[in-house]
């Protein structure tokens, strides 16, 4: 056990972010020197707050089943090399989750029943960042090769996790990615200020040194079809994400200046990394309206502020949640509460319980949105009479989520079965309805989180490994395809 009295004597502390006026002038992470380093002065005593409660509900909260009390104890004892070994035992990429996870482990931490929970996510990122800084993360190539080949389609966190697990098990793995660089949403969705891309780059390098081959700029379904891929490899894993964006077909939708977040953010990410993008969508000098909250909305907000938007308004149809757990979402569930991401500290207005009726414009370009307040009655949103108004906008960004994987191309060619929500159906071993074609991440689960994508990749790897060998696998299976977050 870490400090036996820590949870009573030490208050929860988190690292200070850089001052807003400084950080909005650049694209670097919001923590000075990056999250892990910023935390080092306080993290030992924070890890000491873990009370090793006996039944660690944080294990249930974390889809990866991270061994949280074990590494809290090791950090408190200053045993960082064992701490990273325990962390890597369940998580291939803790630098991604330690920065980006909404930390459902913390909302199920036992200390959190009547005090502030342990800063689990911060301990996690400190362990991995220190391990990288001390050259303690090395390639782990397999000792022997099985002679079996696997193609992974998509290089987001699910594709990377499945590929790393299978390469280390001795299978020969090629990852196909249609973008010019691997990483999926980690690279072109999530902005630098949340996670600098060097963290993705050095994992890719580690994976290459282990033997994983990356074929970028290859969209499976075009020159190479899904069926050709299945014929060439002993197994195929679909990890293509849920990239079909939700739209808002209100009058005026055709006006210029209305874009999907995932057209806007990748361009901004490329420019932040020094690339030039022709006809870039920019927020500079504009009134920006973001429709939809969530991670994507917050990422648009932080990006628009850094580009010098005149104003940024985020619209959300749901009412503003409270700051405390609602009674019907008790510990250890992940509650709907009012959360403030780093981007929300930087500016902009958050407007709740409103709906967009129309986009208004001039000369073909959007100039504003006609919105109305709404309230929930008998399970349906109803307009509040007399609340209609027009708010200015020369740039509108849709951040309303995703409805599933793209069907045309590889999905259609392979003929995999889809469920009623349009996601790829898989069995308990993460195999689709087509023999030897497996599924991992958002394309099977639906739009989700990085931690779930990594857990899916790890679990699907066990299914593939068993399929390619004698029907058994020693690889971990942290989740089943049907597992869902701890909610009520």
Ligand X SMILES: Cc1cc2nc3c(=O)[nH]c(=O)nc-3n(C[C@H](O)[C@H](O)[C@H](O)COP(=O)(O)OP(=O)(O)OC[C@H]3O[C@@H](n4cnc5c(N)ncnc54)[C@H](O)[C@@H]3O)c2cc1C
Can you give the binding site for ligand SF4, defined by CB under 6 A? 61-62, 64, 66, 68, 97, 101, 103-105, 120-121, 124, 451
Residue 299 binding: pick among ligand X, ligand SF4, none (C-beta 5-8 Å cut-off by kind): ligand X
State the Cα–Cα distance between residues 327 and 343, nearest whole angstrom: 28
Q: How many residues bind ligand X (CB under 6 A)?
A: 38
- Please spell the DSSP secondary structure of 16-36, one letter per residue: PPPPHHHHTTS-S-SSTT-HH
Query: Closest approach of Cβ 99 to ligand SF4, in Å?
Result: 9
Least distance from C-beta 418 to ligand SF4, angstroms? 29
Find out whether 379 and 246 touch, Cβ atoms under 8 Å. Answer: no
> Is 163 a binder of ligand X (CB under 6 A)?
no
CB of 146 to ligand X, least distance (A): 24
* 68 or 451: CB nearest ligand X: 451
Q: Give dist(CA 428, CA 418) in Å, integer.
A: 15
Nearest to 98 by CA among 42, 154, 146, 34: 34
Based on the shown chain and the rule CB under 6 A, indicate whether residue 29 belongs to the binding site for ligand X.
Answer: no
**Torsion sign, CA atoms 422, 426, 431, 436:** negative
Measured from the CB atom, is 124 or 442 closer to ligand X? 442
CB of 122 to ligand SF4, least distance (A): 9
Concatenating the DSSP letter of every residue in 264-297 gives HHHHHHHHHTT---TT----TTSEEEEE--HHHH
Angle between helices 294-306 and 261-272 (to 10 degrees): 50
In the list ligand SF4, ligand X, none, the entry touching 221 (Cβ below 5 to 8 angstroms by class) is ligand X
Question: Please, what is the minimum distance in Å from the beta carbon of residue 443 to ligand SF4?
Answer: 21
Q: Which does 105 bind (CB under 5 to 8 A by kind): ligand SF4, ligand X, none?
A: ligand SF4
| Sequence-ordered alpha helix ranges (H) in 62-150 | 68-76, 80-88, 94-100, 104-107, 120-133
Regarding beta strands 365-377 and 389-392, do their DSSP bridges make them parallel or antiparallel, or are they unpaired?
A: antiparallel
Q: Residue 82 or 179: which CB sits closer to ligand X?
A: 179
Minimum distance from residue 255 beta carbon to ligand SF4 (Å)? 40
Contact flag: residue 95 with ligand X (CB under 6 A): no
Closest Cα partner for 177 from 216, 146, 207, 204?
216
Query: Which of ligand X, ligand SF4, none sits in contact with 121, Cβ below 5 to 8 A by type?
Result: ligand SF4
Show Cβ contacts of residue 342 under 8 Å, excluding neighbours closer than 6 positions. Answer: 17, 30, 193, 194, 302
* Contact between 241 and ligand X per CB under 6 A: yes
Residue closest to 44 by CA, chosen among 89, 68, 80, 94: 80
Give the one entry of ligand SF4, ligand X, none that residue 30 binds, where binding means its C-beta sits below a cut-off of 5 to 8 angstroms depending on kind: none
Contact characters 425-444, ligand X, x per CB under 6 A: ----------------xx--
Residues 6+ apart with CB under 8 A from 86: 67, 70, 71, 74
CB of 454 to ligand SF4, least distance (A): 8
Give yes or no for residue 453 binding ligand X (CB under 6 A).
yes
> What residues from 351 to 410 belong to the interface with ligand X (CB under 6 A)?
409-410
User: Which of ligand SF4, ligand X, none binds 66 (CB below 5-8 Å, type-dependent)?
Assistant: ligand SF4
| Nearest distance from C-beta of residue 189 to ligand X, angstroms | 4
Evaluate the omega torsion of the peptide bond into residue 113 and state whether it is cis, within 30 degrees of 0: no
Binding site residues, ligand X, CB under 6 A? 100-101, 153-159, 176-179, 184-185, 189-190, 219-221, 239-241, 243, 262, 265, 295-296, 299, 409-410, 441-442, 448-451, 453
């Amino acid at each position: 056990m870490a400090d036996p009295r820590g949870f009573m004597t030490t208050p929860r502390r988190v690292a200070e972010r850089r001052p807003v006026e400084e950080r909005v002038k650049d694209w670097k992470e919001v923590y000075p020197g990056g999250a892990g380093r910023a935390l080092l002065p306080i993290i030992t005593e924070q890890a000491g707050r873990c009370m090793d409660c006996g039944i660690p509900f944080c294990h249930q909260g974390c889809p990866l089943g991270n061994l949280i009390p074990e590494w809290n104890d090791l950090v408190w004892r200053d045993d960082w090399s064992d701490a990273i070994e325990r962390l890597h035992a369940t998580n291939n990429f803790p630098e991604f989750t330690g920065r980006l996870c909404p930390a459902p482990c913390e909302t199920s931490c036992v200390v959190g029943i009547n005090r502030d929970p342990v800063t689990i996510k911060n301990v996690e990122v400190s362990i991995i960042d220190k391990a990288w800084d001390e050259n303690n993360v090395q390639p782990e190539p397999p000792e022997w090769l099985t002679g079996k080949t696997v193609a992974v389609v998509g290089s987001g966190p699910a594709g990377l996790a499945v590929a790393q697990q299978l390469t280390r098990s001795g299978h020969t793995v090629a990852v196909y990615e249609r973008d010019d660089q691997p990483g999926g949403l980690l690279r072109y969705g999530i902005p630098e200020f949340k996670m600098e891309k060097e963290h993705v780059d050095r994992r890719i390098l580690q994976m290459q040194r282990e033997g994983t081959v990356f074929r970028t700029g290859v969209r499976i379904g075009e020159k190479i079809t899904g069926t050709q891929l299945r014929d060439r490899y002993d197994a195929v894993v679909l990890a293509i994400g849920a990239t079909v964006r939700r739209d808002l077909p209100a009058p005026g939708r055709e006006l210029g200046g209305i874009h999907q977040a995932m057209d806007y953010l990748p361009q901004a990410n490329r420019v932040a990394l020094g690339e030039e993008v022709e006809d870039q969508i920019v927020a500079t000098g504009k009134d920006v309206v973001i429709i939809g909250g969530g991670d994507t909305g917050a990422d648009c907000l932080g990006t628009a502020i850094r580009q010098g938007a005149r104003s940024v308004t985020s619209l959300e149809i749901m009412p503003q949640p409270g700051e405390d757990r609602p009674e019907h979402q008790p510990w250890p569930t992940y509650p709907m509460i009012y959360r403030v991401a780093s981007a929300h500290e930087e500016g902009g207005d958050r407007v709740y319980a409103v709906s967009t009726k129309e986009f208004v414009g001039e000369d073909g370009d959007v100039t504003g949105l006609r919105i109305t307040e709404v309230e929930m009655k008998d399970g349906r949103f109803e307009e509040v009479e007399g609340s209609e108004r027009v708010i200015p906008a020369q740039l509108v960004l849709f951040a309303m989520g995703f409805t599933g994987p793209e069907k045309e191309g590889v999905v259609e060619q392979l003929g995999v079965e889809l469920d009623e929500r349009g996601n790829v159906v898989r069995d308990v071993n993460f195999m689709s309805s087509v023999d030897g074609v497996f599924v991992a991440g958002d394309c099977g689960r639906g739009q989700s989180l990085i931690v779930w994508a990594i857990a899916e990749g790890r679990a699907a790897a066990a299914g593939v490994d068993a399929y390619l060998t004698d029907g058994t696998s020693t690889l971990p299976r942290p989740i089943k395809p049907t597992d869902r977050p701890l909610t009520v």
